[in-house]
Structure 1
């Protein structure tokens, strides 16, 4: 074993056994990862006299499952003398230092002699003072043994729980696992919205989009070339299910505009709807259906050839109007109709407008929209005032043009975020005032 080894990765089953065994120790074996020659992965441990088990890692951990031929011999010991891991902690904080082999064996009995070769050792010290634990002294420690000296190694164990539950209780995991979100449009912005919502811990998500993922989509989407030809909702559902298994994803390959009658039954199930679809028709339909279903909606897009981003939160009730009420108020105040260009596609042929917004700018708006959706539910349903938004309408400077736009789109610098309120419902609005 080379002295350059710095990290040992251990499957959860190994720790589970050592935590509960009555044995004092046993043999151990590890293999180098083919991806990294200073990383060892434990592949065998002795669990009883002359019985050796081979714990498995999930195939998802491809870099760890891809191990080199040949094993590095080692040993594991539990209930090592008090202070052993304090010495490990001190050595780790002094790079380049080591302890003599004789000094180490005087401190830790029952250590196997290297006999001309380097050995791997993992030790477990169950009983440590709490102040040591608080300082970062590890319960498990790794060691590189030779006949001359012993050096410390870092040990990382596969946790018993992998997923969003690891963030509990610092993050409202239980509340968000109950959350049901509809995402309309899973293109460049919507794909990021869906991915971010799953990362926040949203329990159930419906993806609504009729389009397939094609070559020109790759440059700005979270999906890659492996998804070309697939329906966007199916490819994204597979990605999220694999990466965020705590989130249940349901794909709906339909157009929200032409299938509005089907959407009408879905919307009341949602805690919030996020619309990132191209074109104003989809945004208007989502605004209308969400208001009728009495659920909040978050609309996200980029405007003015990618110069600014926009996130609008629409809330049911009599205080705020719908999207059409907001746009009518802007027009009445002399604002520009920035949505006029959205009905023309981009990047799909000579008659259309070219791509203007780069992927990271679109993703930034997508993350902002996902945060707004989560914050809305946590504030309104759970009374978590730490998640209050500063307003209902956000305009974000992405690459503002030299032309001065009318308020509230008059951002002049990149990363400038302007929040404002929405107007009240218009009298006679077909969405807000159905009389």
Structure 2
């Protein structure tokens, strides 16, 4: 029910308050009540200041008095009345707003606030004053109605700052089209000597998802005027005088520290909104800088592995090796980090694109092989060799055969391993890590984990269906939030391992994480069980040979290479 029917006492109070204001304020002319198409209550009035009349209406929202009324210009108003207004013809930004509203404020007080604002900025006599702003309009608010937007980045701004007045260069512009906006991004600029400058802030992969066009870029002197956009003919004359071709569609003009983008046609000329470069603000702690020089292998680029890889890329890791032979199919989208743009592609290729889109500096290497599966021995050996060249191996397959293989090769090469799995049903999961010389072998750790569950007479539900080959077995039941929760914990454990934090954020190597009640295991969400492990056993002494025995073996090896 509308507030003015459900709260008749408040309606009476509002009505009498506005009547009293009109009787005592010679600047207010009441014009009566009405409702709009949504049955919101409207009070029309004129505010007179000197010889000028401002036609306004006071609009009561559906949830009044819990949300504030608004004061708007009435009729087809195309001019800006105030610096405290949301665009020409838009709502006036007054003293009482959603951020400071209390239900005892009345509509009459809103009209008084509107009068004070307009009177101060447009007095009938004397000098106009600037009304101090109680808040700053956000970038998002200012661009809500702007469709065409030029995006500046820090490196692009630095490059533009070096251009001299009168210098015109050729840029490559990526056009990122969305239903509500078109964003224009300059990713390359050809210098006067023919050298191409590449914007390092823009992922090279972005060009495959955008349109490209060439755009002239000119720096003008600070005392030169920008072309007018009110008349297309005047616009064409002005850009021709600056040195642009008269039929140039999109141009960029640099003036001072700002970039201005224009689009001209026979019927119109418009200026784009410019999204300024962000100030450089540190968002990660200093230790994350070390991640830039580290490499990670991710085995399994399914729902868990894809999320972990993307999180690590956002955290600063710039070198990845991805191993998976599977394709992304439509049903994977229920919890995968990718979307319909990647359906039908190999997961390693799509995750590569994803990583580079969030971290333009990332280098990603891939192998489309099935670890511990039916593959040529040479392919498997190459994949394993590349695994061992990384600082950390992450096993996101939840496949026991892969776990055994990775555990064996990682232990022999003294490489740390992180592994994780989501339990069927989405009620929880497990994260674990092996660090050479700190934890026992991954095979022993796995046995200890199985014993931990056996002591509780509980066996986690594991998905046995092979999605890639269509093998028999039930699918894993879990939603995106379930997988993301375990992926986030896995990524944090991986970062802790890469940074060798001392003390570690994770004092034990294995955690069973609860996301929902599960009979026999968890009583509630976020219930966590750390599983301690014994210290790593002392390394076995390698078999040694005497000098004579070593020499004899070298002779035998030499015979193998001896060309007959």
What TM-score range do you get, normalising by the shorter chain?
Answer: 0.5 to 0.7
Structure 1 pair 322–170 and aligned structure 2 pair: CA distance change class (3 A): closer
The answer as to whether partners of 1:321 and 1:422 remain within 8 angstroms in 2 is: no
The answer as to whether partners of 1:325 and 1:423 remain within 8 angstroms in 2 is: yes
State which drifts further: 306-315 or 241-250. Answer: 241-250
Q: Which of residues 355, 372, 393 in structure 1 aligns to 2:493?
A: 372
The answer as to whether partners of 1:6 and 1:38 remain within 8 angstroms in 2 is: yes
Q: What does residue 520 of structure 2 align with?
A: 404
Q: Which string of whole-angstrom CA distances, capped at 9 and with x for unpartnered residues, describes residues 47-74 of structure 1?
A: xxxxxxxx9998937998589xxx9xxx
Structure 1 pair 154–268 and aligned structure 2 pair: CA distance change class (3 A): same
Instruction: Write the distance in 2 (CA, Å) between the matches of 1:36 and 1:319.
Output: 53
1:60 aligns with 2:206: yes
Instruction: Write the distance in 2 (CA, Å) between the matches of 1:283 and 1:396.
Output: 20
State which drifts further: 260-269 or 239-248. Answer: 260-269
Instruction: Write the distance in 1 (CA, Å) between the matches of 2:229 and 2:325.
Output: 66
State which drifts further: 233-242 or 363-372. Answer: 233-242
Q: What does residue 48 of structure 1 align with?
A: none
Structure 1 pair 76–156 and aligned structure 2 pair: CA distance change class (3 A): farther
Per-residue deviation at 1:392?
A: 1.9
Per-residue deviation at 1:8?
A: 4.9
Q: Which of residues 465, 473, 476 in structure 2 aligns to 1:345?
A: 465
Instruction: Write the distance in 2 (CA, Å) between the matches of 1:206 and 1:59.
Output: 18
1:395 aligns with 2:512: yes
The answer as to whether partners of 2:301 and 2:348 remain within 8 angstroms in 1 is: yes
The answer as to whether partners of 1:182 and 1:270 remain within 8 angstroms in 2 is: yes
Per-residue deviation at 1:250?
A: 1.6
Q: Which string of whole-angstrom CA distances, capped at 9 and with x for unpartnered residues, describes residues 184-240 of structure 1?
A: 111111111222222222222111223333343232222334444433223323443
Q: What does residue 19 of structure 1 align with?
A: 161
1:63-142 equivalence runs, <5 A: 140=258
Q: Which of residues 423, 428, 438 in structure 2 aligns to 1:303?
A: 423
Per-residue deviation at 1:419?
A: 5.3
Structure 1 pair 336–124 and aligned structure 2 pair: CA distance change class (3 A): farther
1:188-207 equivalence runs, <5 A: 188-207=303-322
Per-residue deviation at 1:318?
A: 5.0
The answer as to whether partners of 1:331 and 1:337 remain within 8 angstroms in 2 is: no
Q: What does residue 298 of structure 2 align with?
A: 183
Q: What does residue 360 of structure 1 align with?
A: 481
Structure 1 pair 184–23 and aligned structure 2 pair: CA distance change class (3 A): closer
Instruction: Write the distance in 1 (CA, Å) between the matches of 2:180 and 2:438.
Output: 64
Structure 1 pair 175–317 and aligned structure 2 pair: CA distance change class (3 A): same
Per-residue deviation at 1:167?
A: 5.8
1:293 aligns with 2:434: no
Larger Rg: 2
1:274 aligns with 2:416: no
1:424 aligns with 2:534: yes
Instruction: Write the distance in 1 (CA, Å) between the matches of 2:259 and 2:386.
Output: 53
Per-residue deviation at 1:183?
A: 0.9
1:311-326 equivalence runs, <5 A: 311-317=431-437, 319-326=439-446
What runs of 5+ residues in structure 2 fail to find an aligned partner?
1-77, 79-86, 89-144, 187-197, 236-250, 263-271, 544-564
Instruction: Write the distance in 2 (CA, Å) between the matches of 1:398 and 1:434.
Output: 45
Q: What does residue 237 of structure 1 align with?
A: 352
Per-residue deviation at 1:24?
A: 9.3
Instruction: Write the distance in 1 (CA, Å) between the matches of 2:357 and 2:471.
Output: 38
Q: Which string of whole-angstrom CA distances, capped at 9 and with x for unpartnered residues, describes residues 333-355 of structure 1?
A: 7134635x436227797952243
Structure 1 pair 423–10 and aligned structure 2 pair: CA distance change class (3 A): closer
1:156 aligns with 2:275: yes
- Compute the TM-score of the two structures, normalised by the length of structure 2: 0.49
Instruction: Write the distance in 2 (CA, Å) between the matches of 1:15 and 1:8.
Output: 16
The answer as to whether partners of 1:379 and 1:388 remain within 8 angstroms in 2 is: no
CA RMSD of aligned residues (A): 5.2
State which drifts further: 365-374 or 10-19. Answer: 10-19
